[in-house]
């Protein structure tokens, strides 16, 4: 959806003749092949991706996928919602989910990104909030 917004804006600007695709076929071509715009677009998508996880982990304690699996992320010390700093540490050390494999190799049975960010994943039962 975040990419669709940018493509729609660029298409609208092209229609209003405020922006030209030049040698590119369409908005997607412009965003993927133009040297500067492709880097800016990638940076924009990375920021949206980071914001998604940080927002949902700090505000609701779970993403939509975690809700489906009845998982909730909490501060390991006191069970409170995690902070932005904890969310950023957890996200930057998760290795796109591969860090979960470290559960197999440590005695705490926690992935390394939960240990480093001082967070824990709790499995909710039907009576949990």
Name the residue ranges covered by the structural domains of the chain: 50-123
Q: What is the pLDDT of residue 129?
A: 54
How does pLDDT run across 42-75, given as a tens digit for each residue? Answer: 999 999 999 999 999 999 999 999 999 999 999 9
CA distances from 79 to 13, 54, 91, 92, 100 (A): 48, 17, 19, 22, 21
Neighbouring CB atoms inside 10 A of 52's CB total 14
Q: How far is CA 55 from CA 42, 94, 114, 117, 125, in A?
A: 20, 17, 17, 16, 23
pTM comes to 0.78
pLDDT tens per residue, range 89-107: 999 999 888 888 888 888 8
The two three-digit tokens of residue 38, written as one number: 């492709």
Give the whole-number percent of the chain exceeding pLDDT 70: 98
Structure-model confidence comparison of residues 14 and 59, the more confident one: 59
Q: Pick the residue with more confidence: 77 or 26? A: 77
Give whole-number Cα distances, 16 to 10, 21, 33, in Å.
10, 12, 22
**Residue 98: which residues within 8 A CB-CB, separation 6 or more?**
none
pLDDT level of residue 21 (50, 70, 90 thresholds): confident
SS (H, E, C) 16-63: CCCCCCCCCCCHHHHHHHCHHHHHHHHHHHHHHHHHHHHHHHHHCCCC
């Amino acid at each position: 959806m975040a990419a669709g917004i940018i493509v729609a804006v660029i298409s609208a600007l092209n229609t209003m003749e405020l922006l030209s695709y030049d040698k590119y076929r369409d908005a997607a071509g412009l965003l993927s092949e133009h040297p500067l715009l492709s880097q800016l677009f990638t940076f924009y998508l990375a920021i949206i991706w980071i914001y998604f996880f940080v927002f949902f982990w700090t505000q609701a304690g779970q993403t939509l996928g975690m809700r489906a699996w009845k998982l909730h992320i909490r501060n390991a010390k006191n069970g409170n919602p995690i902070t932005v700093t904890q969310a950023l540490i957890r996200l930057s050390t998760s290795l796109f989910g591969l860090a979960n494999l470290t559960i197999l190799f440590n005695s705490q049975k926690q992935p390394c990104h939960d240990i480093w960010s001082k967070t824990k994943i709790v499995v909710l039962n039907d009576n949990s909030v």
